[in-house]
Amino acid sequence: MSSVKKSAIRVLIIDDSATMRGLMAHALQKDPGIEVVGYAGDAYGAREAIKTLNPDVVTLDIEMPRMDGLTFLEKLMRLRPLPVVVVTSKTESAEEIEVSALKLGAAHCLFKPAGAAGASLFDALPGKIREAVQQGAEEAPSDRDSSVGSEINPKKRIFLGASTGGVDALVSVLRSFPRNCPPTMIVQHMPKKFIPLFAQRLNTLCAPTVQIARGGTKIEPGRILIAPAGEHMRLSRRDPDICILEDRPPVNGFRPSVDVLFKSAAEVVGKHCVAALLTGMGRDGADGLLSIRMAGGVTLAQDEETSVVWGMPRVAYELGAVDRPLPLRKIAASLLDPCRTPALRDAS
């Protein structure tokens, strides 16, 4: 390895594919603040490499011989906690793997490109490595500065929609939210059995309270509501501080649907909406985001480079619901900043 600064982040790459190890190393070595200190082809080699090399962070494949990555991750977090970025193949069970990895303590979960032609998708890896080190090895959420609450316009609400790749994207966004964040409502397309695990995981990582919405749940500062599987979530027209759940037909093939939430927000909250459409396949949420923009709200969409699937945000951009897509790292601040407008400046 070439000499680098002592302060460089030391990375161990764990993957049974020499090709993938090479692609990841190439992407990481473009960052002068990151040093790839070693490689391991399976969990047993990784165990010895961690003892010998003492890395700051590891990348971890899930499908490996002799011991799968999730089993190794559980042992690692129990015996020698380290920041971990899971980098694995996209399969039918990707959502299950993503939720399980995050629940076990991984900082992020990325999906491998299909062969060398997709190597540019690893461009996001250095940023994920840096975020993982900053987060630390599964530390409890800090009591983030709740004094910003005095600067938050109490009328502001945040609305988020995501699908494929949204678990990791939402973790990245919500970890930056202060304990007394604006009321936040989320629709994430996800199989029913994973939603409780996801909500539980977010609660361990985020300063605000995260819970699965119920009909009649109060919408208030410091609370993040996730739509349950099989029910649409919207705001009450009679009381904008109340969450309503409805067993109506799917919209855009989904129940819950992002469009249902976003269109409800545009109708009930109007210009006080701050909404973002994150990574996901299809177009759910694009029309709703446009409705929020037409109502005077703030609208954001994740960009192609940082999305696992640039479907929903792309359609929103093409419809004119956003001026330009943003990289994931800028989404949290772009959601919170419009909510910090002094009350006297937006008293209407």
Active-site residue, selected from the candidate residues 108, 189, 232, 272: 189
- C-beta neighbour count of 343 within 10 angstroms: 12
Please state, in angstroms and as integers, the Cα–Cα distance from residue 330 to each residue in 48, 210, 337, following that order. Answer: 37, 22, 11
Query: Active-site residue 257, yes or no?
Result: no
CA distance 6 to 24: 21
Under DSSP, is residue 344 helix (H, G, I), strand (E, B) or coil?
Answer: helix
Query: Active-site residue 31, yes or no?
Result: no
CA distance 163 to 172: 15
Tokens representing 245 are 């759940």
Q: Using CB atoms within 10 A of its CB, is residue 143 exposed (0-12), middle (13-18) or buried (19+)?
A: exposed
Active-site residue, selected from the candidate residues 100, 163, 264, 291: 163
Give strand pairing partners of 110: 87
Helices (H), 136-238: 166-174, 195-205
- Residue in the block written with tokens 């199989």: 191
Active-site residue, selected from the candidate residues 61, 168, 284, 303: 284
CA distance 81 to 207: 21
Give strand pairing partners of 220: none
Is 228 within 8 Å of 212 (Cβ atoms)?
yes
User: Which H or E run contains 51?
Assistant: helix 43-53
CA dihedral 221, 224, 228, 232 (to 10 degrees): 60
Query: Active-site residue 284, yes or no?
Result: yes
Residues involved in catalysis = 163, 189, 284
